[in-house]
Amino acid sequence: MASEKTKKLFADIVSVADIKINGNRPSDIKIHNDRFYQGLLRTGLLGAGESYMAGDWDCEAIDEMIYKLLKADLGHYAKENPLHMVHLLGAKIINYGRRSKAFQVGEHHYDTGNDLFKAMLDKRMVYSCGYWKNAKNLDEAQENKLDLICRKLGLQKGMRMLDIGGGWGGLAIFAAQRYGVSTVILTVSKEQKKLTEELAKGLPVEVRLQDYRDINEKFDRVVSVGMFEHVGTKNYRTYMKVVRRCLNDDGLSLLHTITGHESVDVANPWLSKYIFPNGCIPSIKQISEAAEGLFVIEDVHNFGADYDPTLMEWYKNFEAAWPELKKNYSETFYRMWRLYILSCAGSFRARTISLTQTVLSPKGVPGGYVAIR
């Protein structure tokens, strides 16, 4: 049982963010079981997430609750837990992105079930931030993003592109249909490979179940959308070296990734355990350092605010499909997935994390690169 002192301390802390315990507003937290406090004290964010999955607490608007907590800058309270330092130390010693773990995120997350992702995502099954400029819905936002990438890369008919971590082939299929480009996709997910091959049938799209470090071929363009978060800090430089050896001297590369506003070595422990094993969000500084001496950074474009509406559309789709999906998934999974999507939406809304597209060239674009928006 949690002491009354512990309960009061927690209530006082969250009140700074205008959140009440057992209040009536959508962003208020309702505690059903004292195990919530025990988990929070033992393992911080990991314990809080696990106790939500167990049904120990609820919040109608998790996205708004997370937004309030982050805007009030309460994150430092989690870091005061000594176990956070143990986790941080582990990240400095262990290479979480090493080869032996390369396929773990594919098996754990992307192989969850194509039925889930078909229901949640847009018609092209693009599992990354949409570009909402002039878009009226999720389908338009994702097509905007795909076309933005193609224009930034200057794709032309007959080019050959490498897509590292190509998802369900959304970009490769779009590039083939609209720009006449052939693409080799690298994925670590068997389920993604299977479905992508079905969706891309008849198009110049090849899908390989292969770690990015094992490719050594030349391409006109190299792109990665939402994969760099899985690389791990110890492998950022390795990733850049692979891209450089695979890119023609007059080629371009685009890196689309979530970015943090400070350089870290470790991810949110709950997200790392239950959603994206071994991942970590890079900073622009870390990307720049990894590219140093290999590339000219031609353009950096931050549209992180667009991830909030993207995630909220995914959540709406997930909720609408749950009556059918629950035949194949547990209530614990429902709570886990709900916490994942809504907490991420709140984080982007608070602008504590961003979404960045970086354009790279091996030797600089003659006359200068013209930024596309």
As annotated, the active-site residues are 344
SS3 (DSSP) at 30: strand
Question: 180 in the Ramachandran plot: left (φ > 0), alpha (ψ -120 to 50) or beta?
Answer: left
Sorted by sequence, the CB contacts under 8 Å of residue 233 that are 6+ apart come out as: 91, 97, 264, 265, 280, 282, 286
Collapsing DSSP to helix, strand or coil, 94 comes out as coil
DSSP category for residue 361: E
Yes or no: say if 229 and 96 are a contact pair by the CB < 8 Å rule: no
The number of angstroms, rounded, from the C-alpha of 28 to the middle of its chain's C-alpha atoms is: 26
Nearest partner of 347 among 70, 73, 78, judged by Cα: 70
Q: Give the Cα-Cα-Cα angle 114, 116, 120 (nearest 5 degrees).
A: 115
Pairwise CA distance, residues 175 & 183, whole Å: 8
Strand partners, 57: 31
Question: Closest Cα partner for 316 from 121, 131, 115?
Answer: 121
